[in-house]
């Protein structure tokens, strides 16, 4: 009887030929006993400075094992334990399994990059659509990282200063923006889904962070554009309260003489702005007298700007990002 299954390790490489223009790795696959030292080779003939080894387990995205910026310059990636590398010659970057184990059974990928093309991503967060919120009572924020090279980035969501994983769905791997080009920049998207009530709390802060693995401060850089160093790049959004009204009635019958001034008072925890162009105007702390007409048009999505104000009778509260924003008929209209 042969050795039990757990006494073997299966290594699969992405083909025994080129994985990306003129990058070659071998063997294509290998079954070996555990506790043996195994070597997988990777070579490239494009004179690229940077080379990478990844491991991709079933159903998951690639994880960086080791990378090299040039000859004799190697650095650990996300999962270096149990592996070793060397870079004695620029074209070659072998990966060594020091004592092969069954949990190292996986698909292994090698890549090389031209450091002149290294560039960090641009990151943007897109707010939930009102249609989704009204239909599902859920709110999905979308994070988009674009224009980066190479493709090794890590994306995470942070809510109120803490990293979250619940409700997060991220692409398994970055995609080429131009699939026809091997040197194309990459893009990656991720989604964070929360309840409508959580999104409608203006105190909640959402941040999408992209960890970009570029050059180090010690790497030489001879070009006349900004050095693309390893860095975190973020985009953020604040929750937005539902723009609505609390209904109430105030009446004062049989008074004389006329006219009189009728005012409603509201308690707030934060100062309110007289919103005009770019929110200019004096701040009103705490209480604020407010006229709410019997028939009030729907509150605008954004503070009213100069030239687009409603009639003087249409003064009402419109809640936006903190501090709360007051939408009303400004005196300069």
CB burial of 103-126 (b: ≥16 within 10 Å; e: otherwise) equals: ebebbbbbbbbebeebbbbebebe
Question: Domains in the chain, start-ordered, CATH in brackets?
Answer: 5-113 (2.60.40.10), 122-238 (2.60.40.10), 243-333 (no CATH)
Phi, psi (5° rounding) for residue 20?
A: -145, 155
pLDDT tens digits for 31-67? 777 888 888 899 998 888 889 999 888 888 788 899 8
Residue bearing tokens 């939930």: 128
Q: Report the percentage of the chain scoring pLDDT > 70.
A: 66
Residue 17: the pLDDT is 42
The per-residue pLDDT for 317 is: 39
Residues ≥6 apart with Cβ < 8 Å to 10: 29, 30, 31, 105
The mean pLDDT of 245-261, rounded to a whole number, is: 51
Q: What is the pLDDT of residues 181-219, one digit of tens each?
A: 877 899 999 999 999 999 999 999 999 999 998 877 777
Provide the pLDDT for residue 23.
85
User: What kind and span of H or E run contains 210?
Assistant: strand 205-212
What is the spatial distance between Cα 291 and Cα 285, in angstroms, rounded to a whole number? 17
State the average pLDDT for the chain: 73
pLDDT band at 309 (very low <50, low <70, confident <90, very high): very low
* pLDDT winner (highest mean) among 46-60, 163-177, 230-244: 163-177
- How many other β-carbons are positioned within 10 Å of the β-carbon of residue 200? 19
Q: What is the pLDDT of residue 13?
A: 57
**How are strands ordered across the β-sheet holding 325-327?**
283-284, 272-275, 325-327, 316-317
- SS3 of residue 194 by DSSP: strand
Predicted local confidence at residue 287, as pLDDT: 35
What tokens were used for 47?
Answer: 């004179």
> How high is the pLDDT of residue 257?
57
pLDDT at 241 over 60: yes
* Confidence check: pLDDT of 252 > 50: yes
Choose the weakest-confidence range: 49-53, 58-62, 116-120, 317-321.
Answer: 317-321
pLDDT for residue 292 is more than 90: no
**Degrees, nearest 5: CA angle 65-66-72:** 165
pLDDT value for 10:
55
**Residue 278 pLDDT level (bands cut at 50, 70, 90):** very low
Q: What is the 3-state secondary structure (H, E, C) of 66-111?
A: EEEEECCEEEECCCCCCEEECCCCCCECCEEECCCCHHHCEEEEEE
List beta partners, residue 56. 107
Q: Which region among 106-120, 203-217, 272-286 has the lowest average model confidence (pLDDT)?
A: 272-286
- Look at 333 and 118; give whichever has higher pLDDT: 118
List the single range of 95-109, 179-193, 288-302 with lowest mean pLDDT: 288-302
Distance CA 315, CA 250 (A): 16
Give residue 121's pLDDT band: very low, low, confident or very high (50, 70, 90).
Answer: very high
Helix-then-strand count for the chain, H and E: 2, 25
Determine the pLDDT at residue 11: 57
């Amino acid at each position: 009887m042969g050795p039990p299954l757990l006494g073997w390790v299966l290594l699969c490489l992405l083909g025994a030929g080129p994985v990306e223009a003129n990058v070659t790795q071998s063997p294509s696959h290998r079954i070996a006993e555990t506790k043996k030292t195994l070597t997988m080779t990777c070579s490239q003939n494009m004179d690229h400075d940077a080379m990478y080894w990844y491991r991709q387990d079933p159903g998951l995205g690639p994880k960086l094992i080791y990378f090299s910026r040039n000859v004799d310059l190697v650095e650990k990636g996300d999962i270096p334990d149990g592996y070793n590398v060397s870079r004695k010659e620029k074209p070659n970057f072998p990966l060594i399994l020091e004592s092969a184990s069954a949990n190292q059974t996986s698909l292994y990928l090698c890549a090389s990059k031209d450091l002149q093309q290294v560039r960090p991503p641009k990151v943007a967060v897109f707010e939930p659509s009102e249609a989704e919120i009204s239909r599902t009572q859920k709110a999905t924020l979308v994070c988009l990282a674009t224009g980066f090279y190479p493709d090794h980035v890590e994306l995470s969501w942070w809510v109120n200063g803490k990293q979250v994983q619940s409700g997060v769905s991220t692409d398994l791997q970055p995609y080429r923006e131009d699939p026809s080009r091997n040197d194309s920049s990459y893009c990656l998207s991720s989604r964070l889904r929360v309840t409508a009530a959580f999104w409608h709390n203006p105190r909640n802060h959402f941040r999408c962070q992209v960890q970009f693995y570029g050059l180090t401060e010690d790497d030489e850089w001879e070009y006349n554009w900004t050095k693309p160093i390893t860095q975190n790049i973020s985009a953020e959004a604040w929750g937005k309260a539902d723009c609505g009204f609390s209904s109430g009635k105030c009446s004062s019958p049989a008074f004389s003489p006329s006219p009189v001034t009728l005012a409603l008072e509201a308690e707030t925890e934060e100062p309110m702005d007289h919103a005009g162009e770019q929110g200019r105007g004096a701040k009103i702390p705490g209480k604020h007298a407010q006229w709410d007409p019997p028939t009030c048009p729907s509150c605008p999505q954004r503070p009213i700007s100069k030239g687009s104000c409603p009639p003087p009778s249409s003064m009402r509260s419109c809640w936006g990002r903190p501090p709360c924003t007051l939408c009303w008929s400004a005196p300069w209209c």
